[in-house]
Homo-oligomer: A and B are copies of this chain.
Amino acid sequence: MPPGTLVHIGERRREDVTIIVIGYDRDRFEEFACRNPEDAFSCLDRPGVTWINVDGLHDTGIIRALCDHAGIHPLTQEDIAHTGQRPKLEDYGDYLYIVIRMFSFEDGSIRQEQVSIVLGETRVISFQEQRGDVFSPVRERLRQNRGRIRAAGADYLTYALLDALVDAYFPILEELGNRVEALEAMALAEPGSGITEGIYGLKRELRTLRQSIWPLREVVSAFARGDSNLIREPTLVYLRDVYDHAMQVAETVEIYRDTVAGVLELHLSEASRRMNEVIKVLTIIATIFIPLTFIAGVYGMNFAFMPELEQPLGYPAVLLGMLAVALVMLAFFRKRRWI
């Protein structure tokens, strides 16, 4: 297919696509939902900042209509629809295109989806794969006019969205941190079958997270460098703050990876120590009793002429001899510091 062809990759959902339009400036705030991209266009022409959020990517007609009206390049449209992009920032001159992965918990397992943000002069258009996101605090601040968000421009709104997306990593990290600690405790307790799979599974989730957080760090870093004139100077200090958070997430992931590797090492070393102990016990028991059993076997032989057997003190003498052998063995083991 030629480049810029709009095909939605990813789970096909039943839900309708929802478009939520928020228009605001220092004094004004309007918010409405619509199904039809054309309904959103009117808002774009009003003064102030317009934020159009699209939930659902499977109706490529809506994406195309919205993007064409907003002057978005076909390749960007393709990337919006093709979920599975790696996080990136692309400067198309009159708009910036940002791809980030949004993480959340769903029934105890980590769910991720692609969020695309297009930042223009006075508008922000964001695309998500499905309903439910981490942007509620931003909407709340817009509605209640808390902080300087209503007074600032589209670049500050984009910062707020990025901040919300990066902050959503922290509960995930906390959960993974708990799992790391649980594995740590398991590794020192009875090493059973489950721990290696646990470590392996955790490693895989950390890998997924890492794969997403490292390019994100670069995205925010490129963003905070402020090369584009779509980003006003006062916003930069806020972006630097997001960068710090992204850096903190990245470092925590690295530390968890390091810790998990250490837990595996600890577990293997502990398992090998236990096996050594088992083998030691086997060795001690076997090496003491095998010679004794041999002696007993010798005097159990049925030869007609075995003079010892006729001695009245033969039996206690042999028992004493066996005891002596056992004691010599034990002394040997003690010298070797096995017992």
Contact = CB atoms under 8 A, between A and B. Distances in A.
A85 B244 CA distance: 8
Interface in A244-284: 244, 247-248, 251, 255, 258-259, 262, 264-283
A46 interface: no
A315 B286 contact: no
A309 interface: yes
A304 B309 contact: yes
Interface in A63-102: 73, 75, 79, 85-86, 88, 90, 92
Interface size classification for chain A? 35 or more
A280 B336 CA distance: 13
Interface stretch (A10-18, A36-44, A119-127, A295-303): A295-303
Interface stretch (A21-29, A171-179, A189-197): A189-197
A269 B275 contact: no
A272 B268 contact: yes
Interface stretch (A52-60, A109-117, A128-136, A200-208): A200-208
Contact of A238 (B3, B258, B283, B289): B3
Given A79-B244, A207-B259, A279-B282, 20 more contacts: A2-B149, A3-B241, A4-B147, A86-B248, A88-B244, A200-B266, A207-B255, A211-B251, A211-B255, A274-B276, A278-B338, A281-B287, A282-B283, A285-B290, A286-B286, A289-B291, A289-B293, A304-B309, A304-B314, A305-B311
Secondary structure of the A contact surface, majority rule: helix
B278 A278 contact: no
What's the number of copies of this chain in the assembled complex? Answer: 5
B196 A269 contact: yes
16 contacts: A2-B146, A3-B147, A75-B241, A86-B251, A90-B240, A190-B337, A196-B269, A268-B269, A268-B272, A271-B273, A277-B336, A281-B283, A285-B291, A289-B290, A299-B303, A305-B315
A302 B301 contact: yes
Interface in A146-163: 146-149, 160, 163
Contact of A305 (B146, B293, B314): B314
Contact of A270 (B146, B196, B204, B319): B196
Given A279-B275, A294-B293, A312 B301 contact: no
B3 A163 contact: yes
A137 interface: yes
A310 to B, nearest CB: 5
A88 B282 CA distance: 57
Given A286-B282, A290-B290, A296-B301, A264 B269 contact: yes
A190 to B, nearest CB: 6
A31 B303 CA distance: 99
A211 B275 CA distance: 35
A182 interface: no
Contacts of A34: none
Contacts of A2: 141, 146-149
Choose among A149, A163, A338 the residue with the greatest number of B CB atoms under 10 Å from its CB. A338
Contacts of A191: 273
Contacts of A274: 276
A221 to B, nearest CB: 14
